[in-house]
Amino acid sequence: MSEQTVNSTDRDLWPALRKGFRRKCPNCGNGPLLKSYLKVRDTCTVCREDFSHNRADDGPAYLTILIVGHLMAPLLLFTFETWRPEPLVLFTIFAIGTVTLSLYLLPRLKGAIVAFQWARLMHGFGGGH
């Protein structure tokens, strides 16, 4: 077996994903992963893990759209069929809910994607560990 295969078992995926979703360093779980709303730090402030290799790109946005769309569309249909609210009321409630859920999920999914890359040793995260 290659060294790459042996090292991939050293980093557990699910704990890293949980830490990343909380926007914490997937290595130590204490340092903040993001330095602003969506900007990933170059290194962890606690354990000095290097995050400059991350390639999250559009992944968090796609996952956010996927999750929010799959939650809100059936809920919109159910609400409309059950209570028949006025269209403006329905639009206002779902617009606010959609924007709020999207803004909540976007940085958390970015942290989870960076943590996934870290745990799977992708894009240079495997060097030296």
- pLDDT digit string, tens, across residues 22-71: 999 999 999 999 999 999 999 999 999 999 989 999 999 999 999 999 99
Q: 8 or 128: whose pLDDT is higher?
A: 128
Question: How would you class 97 by CB atoms within 10 Å of its CB: exposed for 0-12, middle for 13-18, buried for 19 or more?
Answer: middle
Q: Match 């059936």 to its residue by tokens.
A: 74
The predicted structure's pLDDT at residue 126: 77
**Structure tokens given for 76:** 């919109």
The predicted structure's pLDDT at residue 123: 86
pLDDT of residue 115 exceeding 80: yes
pLDDT in tens, 3-16: 444 444 579 999 99
Question: How would you class 63 by CB atoms within 10 Å of its CB: exposed for 0-12, middle for 13-18, buried for 19 or more?
Answer: middle
pLDDT in tens, 68-94: 999 999 999 999 999 999 999 999 999
Q: Using CA atoms, how far apart are residues 60 and 57, in angstroms rounded to an integer?
A: 7
Band the pLDDT of 125: cuts 50, 70, 90. confident
The predicted structure's pLDDT at residue 5: 45
Q: Using CA atoms, how far apart are residues 3 and 12, in angstroms rounded to an integer?
A: 16
SS3 category, 12: coil
The predicted structure's pLDDT at residue 3: 45
Provide the residue type at 15 as one letter: P
The predicted structure's pLDDT at residue 8: 45
